[in-house]
Protein backbone atom coordinates (compact mmCIF):
# COMPACT_ATOMS: atom_id res chain seq x y z
CA UNK A 1 0.00 0.00 0.00
CA UNK A 2 2.73 2.43 0.98
CA UNK A 3 4.74 1.54 -2.12
CA UNK A 4 1.76 2.29 -4.30
CA UNK A 5 1.37 5.73 -2.66
CA UNK A 6 5.05 6.57 -3.17
CA UNK A 7 4.85 5.40 -6.76
CA UNK A 8 1.77 7.53 -7.40
CA UNK A 9 3.31 10.63 -5.82
CA UNK A 10 6.48 10.23 -7.88
CA UNK A 11 4.52 9.51 -11.02
CA UNK A 12 2.35 12.61 -10.60
CA UNK A 13 5.41 14.77 -9.85
CA UNK A 14 7.13 13.36 -12.93
CA UNK A 15 4.08 14.07 -15.08
CA UNK A 16 3.81 17.67 -13.96
CA UNK A 17 7.52 18.24 -14.37
CA UNK A 18 7.53 16.72 -17.86
CA UNK A 19 4.53 18.80 -18.83
CA UNK A 20 6.29 21.96 -17.64
CA UNK A 21 9.58 21.13 -19.37
CA UNK A 22 7.99 20.19 -22.68
CA UNK A 23 5.60 23.10 -22.88
CA UNK A 24 7.63 25.97 -21.43
CA UNK A 25 11.09 24.61 -22.09
CA UNK A 26 10.52 24.38 -25.81
CA UNK A 27 8.78 27.71 -26.14
CA UNK A 28 10.73 29.24 -28.98
CA UNK A 29 8.30 32.01 -29.86
CA UNK A 30 10.63 34.71 -28.58
CA UNK A 31 13.71 33.20 -30.20
CA UNK A 32 12.58 32.51 -33.73
CA UNK A 33 15.38 33.03 -36.21
CA UNK A 34 14.89 35.67 -38.87
CA UNK A 35 15.61 34.93 -42.52
CA UNK A 36 18.75 37.03 -42.26
CA UNK A 37 19.98 35.13 -39.20
CA UNK A 38 19.35 31.80 -40.92
CA UNK A 39 21.37 32.94 -43.91
CA UNK A 40 24.05 34.20 -41.52
CA UNK A 41 24.25 30.76 -39.96
CA UNK A 42 24.70 29.19 -43.40
CA UNK A 43 27.51 31.66 -44.13
CA UNK A 44 29.05 30.94 -40.73
CA UNK A 45 29.18 27.28 -41.70
CA UNK A 46 30.23 27.90 -45.30
CA UNK A 47 33.23 30.02 -44.30
CA UNK A 48 34.00 27.74 -41.38
CA UNK A 49 34.21 30.52 -38.81
CA UNK A 50 34.12 27.69 -36.27
CA UNK A 51 37.69 26.84 -37.18
CA UNK A 52 38.80 29.82 -35.10
CA UNK A 53 35.76 31.01 -33.13
CA UNK A 54 33.61 29.30 -30.50
CA UNK A 55 29.87 29.35 -29.97
CA UNK A 56 28.91 27.91 -26.60
CA UNK A 57 32.55 27.00 -26.16
CA UNK A 58 32.73 24.84 -29.27
CA UNK A 59 35.18 25.72 -31.99
CA UNK A 60 38.77 26.78 -32.51
CA UNK A 61 40.60 29.06 -30.11
CA UNK A 62 42.51 31.42 -32.37
CA UNK A 63 39.67 33.93 -32.43
CA UNK A 64 37.24 35.12 -29.76
CA UNK A 65 34.24 33.32 -28.27
CA UNK A 66 31.31 34.79 -30.22
CA UNK A 67 28.31 33.55 -28.21
CA UNK A 68 27.92 36.72 -26.16
CA UNK A 69 30.33 38.97 -27.99
CA UNK A 70 27.63 41.61 -28.53
CA UNK A 71 27.06 41.88 -24.77
CA UNK A 72 30.69 42.72 -24.11
CA UNK A 73 31.69 46.29 -23.41
CA UNK A 74 32.81 48.20 -26.48
CA UNK A 75 31.26 45.68 -28.89
CA UNK A 76 28.41 46.55 -31.20
CA UNK A 77 27.22 45.49 -34.66
CA UNK A 78 29.25 48.25 -36.35
CA UNK A 79 32.46 47.07 -34.69
CA UNK A 80 31.78 43.47 -35.65
CA UNK A 81 30.96 44.46 -39.18
CA UNK A 82 34.25 46.31 -39.53
CA UNK A 83 36.12 43.25 -38.21
CA UNK A 84 34.34 40.81 -40.52
CA UNK A 85 34.60 43.07 -43.53
CA UNK A 86 38.24 44.02 -43.28
CA UNK A 87 39.77 41.20 -41.27
CA UNK A 88 42.58 41.80 -38.80
CA UNK A 89 45.93 40.11 -38.28
CA UNK A 90 44.97 36.39 -38.23
CA UNK A 91 41.30 37.07 -38.93
CA UNK A 92 40.92 36.45 -42.68
CA UNK A 93 39.44 38.98 -45.08
CA UNK A 94 36.70 37.11 -46.93
CA UNK A 95 35.60 39.86 -49.29
CA UNK A 96 31.99 39.49 -48.11
CA UNK A 97 29.28 41.77 -49.40
CA UNK A 98 27.52 44.27 -47.16
CA UNK A 99 24.45 42.03 -46.99
CA UNK A 100 26.48 38.95 -46.12
CA UNK A 101 28.14 40.81 -43.23
CA UNK A 102 24.75 41.98 -41.99
CA UNK A 103 23.42 38.42 -42.11
CA UNK A 104 26.40 37.07 -40.19
CA UNK A 105 25.87 39.73 -37.57
CA UNK A 106 22.14 38.93 -37.44
CA UNK A 107 23.16 35.35 -36.64
CA UNK A 108 25.65 36.43 -33.96
CA UNK A 109 22.99 38.76 -32.53
CA UNK A 110 20.51 35.88 -32.47
CA UNK A 111 22.93 33.67 -30.55
CA UNK A 112 23.67 36.53 -28.19
CA UNK A 113 19.97 37.19 -27.53
CA UNK A 114 19.30 33.49 -26.89
CA UNK A 115 21.98 33.32 -24.23
CA UNK A 116 21.61 36.29 -21.89
CA UNK A 117 23.09 34.33 -18.99
CA UNK A 118 25.85 32.58 -20.86
CA UNK A 119 28.66 34.66 -19.38
CA UNK A 120 27.34 34.28 -15.85
CA UNK A 121 27.15 30.51 -16.13
CA UNK A 122 30.75 30.14 -17.26
Give the footprint of ligand HEC on this chain (CB under 6 A): 47-49, 51-53, 62-64, 69, 75, 80, 83-84, 88-92, 94, 104
Cβ-based nearer residue to ligand HEC, 24 or 98:
98
Residues sharing a CB contact under 8 Å with residue 39, sequence separation 6 or more, in sequence order: 103, 106, 107
| Distance in Å, CB of 121 to ligand HEC, minimum | 20
**Max Cα-Cα span within the chain:** 73
Of 60 and 116, nearer to ligand HEC (C-beta) is 60
- Smallest distance from the beta carbon of 97 to ligand HEC, in angstroms? 12
Amino acid sequence: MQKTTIFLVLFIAFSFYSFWVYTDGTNTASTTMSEKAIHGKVLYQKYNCTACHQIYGLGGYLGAELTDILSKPGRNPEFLKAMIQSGARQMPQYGLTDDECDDLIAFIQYVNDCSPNYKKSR
